[in-house]
Structure formats: C-alpha cells, structure tokens
Amino acid sequence: MKSTLDQIEDIKKNGYSLDFATTFDHAFENYKKIAVYSGLIFLVFSIIIAVAYMGTITAIFGIENIKKDFIEEYSKRKLSGNELAIHSIGMAVLAGLFSPFMAGFLKMADSADRDVEFNVSTIFTYYKAPYFAQLFINAFIPALVATGISGIIKNIDSSSIGNTIAIVIPYFISYFMFLSIPLIVFGKLKGIEAIKSSFIIVTKNPLTIFAFFILGFIGSLVGLIGCGVLVFFTIVFNSSMIYATYYAIFGIKQEDSIDSIGNSYVD
C-alpha cells in the first residue's frame, strides 16, 4: 500500500473525488456510535476547564475586578504589541496542548468504526511520544498565525467589519487544516508535513471539503437548538465528519497505529 506522502503526491498531480452521500452517511453512522460516551467526556472536561479558566482569571485580575461584562470588554480592547504577542503565543500553546485531546476523539471514532472497545483513556492516547510533539506543532503554528492576524486586524480596524474579519480568520485557517490531525494520527505524517498536506488536499477539492467543514460545524452546534447542554453530545459530530472524510480519501489500515507509529516517524 502506498505511503501517505505518495498518496499526497498523486493527489497533487491527479486530484481526487469524494462521494458526498457515502461520506456523510459514514460520518453520521460513526457519530451515533460515539455520541453518548464522548458527550459525557466533553461535559466533564468542559466543567473542569471552565473552573480552571475562571480561577486563573480571578488570580490574575482579582475577584473584585471581575464583573459581568469583563470578558467581553477585555476581548474588545486594543492590545499593545507585547500584549498581542503574549496573547497570540498563549492561545497557540493552549491549542497545541488541546490538540492531542481532539485527536483522541478521532481514535475513538476509528475504534467505533472497527467495533473495537474504547474508554476514557482513549481520549489521552496521543499525549505521548511521538504523537504529542507533532500534534502540538501542527496546532501551534496555525493558531499562532490565526490569533496574530486577528489581533492585528482588531487593532487596525475596530469597526464591525474589522471585528467580523477578525472572527472569520481562525475559521478560514481551520478550513485549510481540516485534515491535518488525521494525517498525523492515521497517516503518520509529521506536524509540518500535515499542515502542508491538508492545504493541498483542501485546495484540490475545495467545495466538497468546505461542505463537510460546514456540516461538521453546524452538526456540532445542533445541540444548542434544544437544550444548551445537548451541545456536548453533538459537538463530536465534527470529529466523525473529519474521520469519514479522511477515510474516504485515504482509507485507514486495519492495524493499531499506536504499535506501528514508532517505526513510521523518522527523526
């Protein structure tokens, strides 16, 4: 079977096709297998992260300075050059640290697809070498670029148009990075290779990938329509959408990538 990089070269030369209905059906069926379990995990860890975040904000600014509109006011104010650099790097580091967690849901999707048992520990599968470094790099660079550009635009133009562009930029970059994480965990690419390869794949079939990107995003937020807490059980739909898209393009070897990946990375 061709390596992922060889398949990328074929895609660069010849492009590829995706069957919309088949890929979407695969994503939806996969999602049904992991929705409840992954939703409970998201709910628990979201509470933990929210408590940790508020505790950090309180420790930095003092509880007496925290008011109802504090977060909104802080997000709207213009940052100095140093503040923007610190903010951008901080957000990029958080994205890098969170990336293996999101990759864990892809592992869960793959396990469900193959009827292999999974549990809470599956989510932390990629917080180990050689995955962590590659996933961190893969998330850090796009997040740094996105946050930096958004911050600069906000400082230059604080109008509604400027703020809208600043909000859209991270999603625009995420669109091009749609398949970067599975390219690492399933395709065994390094972080930089995955960034470049995801960009190539997206630009070779931009409309179909955009449709899946939007469907994954909308599907993740469906839970907000009824009861807000249901979003924790729909948000993982995006992981199933990414998994199904990658599967449709590359297929996934029926092996435990944890056992084989150590032999696939080359320093």
pLDDT tens across 162-213, in order? 889 999 999 999 999 999 999 999 999 999 999 999 999 999 999 999 999 9
Residue that the structure tokens 């409970």 belong to: 40
pLDDT at position 39? 86
Pick from 118, 108, 249: nearest CA to 178 = 249
Model-level pTM? 0.86
- For the chain, what are the domain ranges? 4-250
Report the pLDDT value the prediction gives residue 256, as an integer from 0 to 100.
Answer: 47
Task: Write the DSSP assignment of 20-73 as a string of letters.
Answer: HHHHHHHHHHHHHHHHHHHHHHHHHHHHHHHHHHHHHHHHHH-GGG--TTHHHH
| pLDDT tens column, 91-112 | 999 999 999 999 999 999 999 9
What is the spatial distance between Cα 31 and Cα 243, in angstroms, rounded to a whole number? 10
pLDDT in tens, 42-92: 888 888 887 876 776 666 556 655 565 555 565 566 767 787 888 899 899
Q: Distances from the Cα of 211 to the Cαs of 20, 25, 50, 168, 215, in angstroms?
A: 9, 14, 31, 16, 6
Residue 159 Cα distances to 84, 132, 149, 164, angstroms: 18, 39, 16, 9
Q: Mean pLDDT over all residues of the chain?
A: 86
Buried b (16+ CB within 10 A) or exposed e, 56-90: ebeeeeeeeeeeeeeeeeeeeeebeeeebeeebee
Tokens of 63: 């509880």
- Please state which of the ranges 124-128, 154-158, 216-220 shows the lowest mean pLDDT: 154-158
Separation between Cα atoms, residue 240 and residue 30, nearest integer Å:
6
Q: Using pLDDT thresholds of 50, 70 and 90, give the confidence band for residue 259.
A: very low
Report the pLDDT value the prediction gives residue 50, as an integer from 0 to 100: 79
The better pLDDT of the pair 106, 233 is held by 106
